[in-house]
Amino acid sequence: MAGLLSGLYGCRRSAGAEAGSGAFSAAGSGKLGVALVGLGKYSEEELAPALLETRACRLAGIVTGSPEKIGKWQRKYDIPDGNVYSYSDFDRIAENPDIDIVYVVLPNALHKEYTVRAAKAGKHVICEKPMAVSAAECEEMVAACKKAGKLLSIGYRMHFDPSTLLIRQLGENKTLGSFTSLTARDSQKMKSGQWRLDKALAGGGPLMDLGIYCVQASLYCAGELPVAVKARFGKIDDPEKFASVEQSIAFDLTFPSGLVAHCHSSYAEEENSLRIESDREWLEFSPAFSYSGLKGKTSQGKMNLPKVNQQALQMDDFARCVNEGTRSRVPGEMGLRDLKILEAIYEAAETGSEVKLKL
């Protein structure tokens, strides 16, 4: 395993070095401008700092409904007045050549609207996960970007983490043998009053927010698409808090090879793990889906994973796709596929019956 990791990644590298390739100057020449739509916690604590590390793109603009945030962001990131927008005048972004990419970081129910508006404004789009609150909305988003001739990518940062790349290579090369079992668990305790507890804004509960990581992990571990799903809602301990979304949900995805992924997600527990068993060995990550600090081990011993900035790698890769006119590794079609799976999981939990998948 140590030899495999060394061959895959070599020495530890920073996100900037990983994403660089020498095509862009440190001073920012040639970098694509990114506008963040929504200045909540994820934008403030993860995306904006990551844009200070990127080689191919930079933070060029902001879109917010909170005027009190504007001054702080302008001072910290040197954003000119002309690159600051509200939601009401967002469409004026079409007139701004300084902004090439719009990153939608809003509550799930607003993803479709701002993705479509950004595409109509002539901007490429990164949309945070989950892509939308329904597969039908995802289809509209894909169609709008295609009509505008703009690229659409989903904020699936895990696809740029070494752990994911390792799992894929192990699965393809059968280094640990054929995978026979998979368990993915992602849960966190959600405080009352969060928009994620409002189905009208979130589209659902922990499945939409955290369970989607389990779905994604299952698919890239299996290397194939699931054909059926079974699911069940967990008990509700706080009916007032969980009045419109599930408190927890467990689901099993069955794949053509016979592999079954057992998944669980909750807003009342703390879980973050991925375990894969093969016919010869096992592989486990805990935490498995965090922004950083992922740890892995196998039956052969501890893994030494390179440290990277997932978000910086994700955004630099999309900038490269825009520059080269190539398809993102996490395109809108992937987000659409995943919403179809999420909808099937909810259907299975609501009906108590297995739901067949045709993806």
State the catalytic residues. 129, 213
The two three-digit tokens of residue 68, written as one number: 């009190």
**Cα 215 to Cα 334: distance, rounded to the nearest angstrom:** 12
Nearest CA among 291, 213, 212, 217 for reference residue 50: 291
**Cα 115 to Cα 103: distance, rounded to the nearest angstrom:** 9
DSSP assignment of 151-176: -EEE--GGGGSHHHHHHHHHHHHTTT
Element (H, E) at 277: strand 271-278
Supply angle C-alpha 212, 213, 214, rounded to 5.
Answer: 90
Supply angle C-alpha 155, 285, 292, rounded to 5.
Answer: 50
Q: Cis peptide leading into 239, omega within 30 of 0? A: no
Helix (H, G, I), strand (E, B) or coil at 251: strand
Strand-pair category, 101-104 with 32-37: parallel
Strand-pair category, 179-187 with 301-302: unpaired
Strands (E) across the chain are located at: 32-37, 57-63, 84-85, 101-104, 124-127, 152-154, 179-187, 228-233, 248-254, 260-266, 271-278, 282-285, 296-298, 301-302, 355-356
